[in-house]
């Protein structure tokens, strides 16, 4: 793949990249940082892409790794006072009930739901991206659907 093609792919994948980053990170600034780092790494490591058909999957995998890196850094920085306070994403009231229910899921489940329902990836592709088995992806999706159904029915 050429650099120009990668640039076009990135432009076409803006929404997908944001959805994936937002499913793992709460803060929009962190999402932007993860996306920028992923783009820079993608251009730097373009030679490691073996098949052009998997370019978007490859790009999203880089983004997922960047999100996990930011999460690891934030874990080291969080103070005890922050832990005792309410979660930052709960303070916002402008998000829909579905978004708040999604944020109540585990990171793995949130990522699986985002990739499957919002981005349209199949179970095999999600398993490859997240480096787990297909049955693990199916289980995560099933548990997420059950929990979302419970949470959303509580609010009615």
What digits encode the pLDDT tens for the residues 62-103? 999 999 898 888 765 544 444 444 444 444 445 577 888 888
Report, at the CATH architecture level, how domain 93-156 is classified.
Answer: Orthogonal Bundle (1.10)
For the domain made up of 1-85, the CATH class stated in words is mainly alpha
Give per-residue pLDDT as tens, 25-66: 888 889 999 999 999 999 999 988 888 888 998 999 999 999
Statement: residue 152 has pLDDT above 70: yes
Radius of gyration for the alpha carbons in the chain, expressed in angstroms and rounded: 17
Provide mean pLDDT across the span 106-117: 90
C-alpha dihedral sign at 21, 24, 26, 27: negative
CATH 1.10.10.10 in the chain, residue ranges:
93-156
**pLDDT greater than 50 at residue 150:** yes
Could you tell me if 141 and 130 are in contact, meaning their C-beta atoms sit under 8 angstroms apart?
Answer: no
pLDDT of residue 52: 87
Mean of all residue pLDDT scores within the chain = 84
Per the CB < 8 A criterion, the answer to whether 19 and 111 are in contact is no
In the chain, residues under CATH classification 1.10.1740.10 are 1-85
């Amino acid at each position: 793949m050429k650099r120009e093609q990668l640039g076009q792919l990135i432009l076409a994948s803006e929404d997908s990249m944001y959805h994936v980053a937002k499913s793992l990170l709460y803060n929009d600034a962190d999402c932007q940082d993860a996306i920028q780092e992923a783009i820079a790494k993608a251009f730097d490591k373009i030679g490691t892409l073996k098949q052009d058909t998997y370019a978007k999957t490859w790009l999203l995998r880089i983004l997922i790794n960047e999100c996990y890196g930011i999460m690891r850094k934030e874990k080291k920085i969080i103070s005890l006072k922050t832990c005792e306070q309410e979660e930052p994403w709960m303070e916002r009231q402008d998000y829909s009930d579905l978004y708040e229910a999604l944020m109540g899921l585990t990171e793995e489940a949130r990522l699986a739901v985002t990739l499957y329902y919002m981005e349209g990836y199949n179970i095999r592709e999600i398993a490859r991206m997240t480096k787990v088995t297909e049955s693990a992806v199916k289980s995560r999706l099933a548990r997420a659907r059950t929990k979302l159904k419970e949470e959303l029915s509580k609010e009615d």
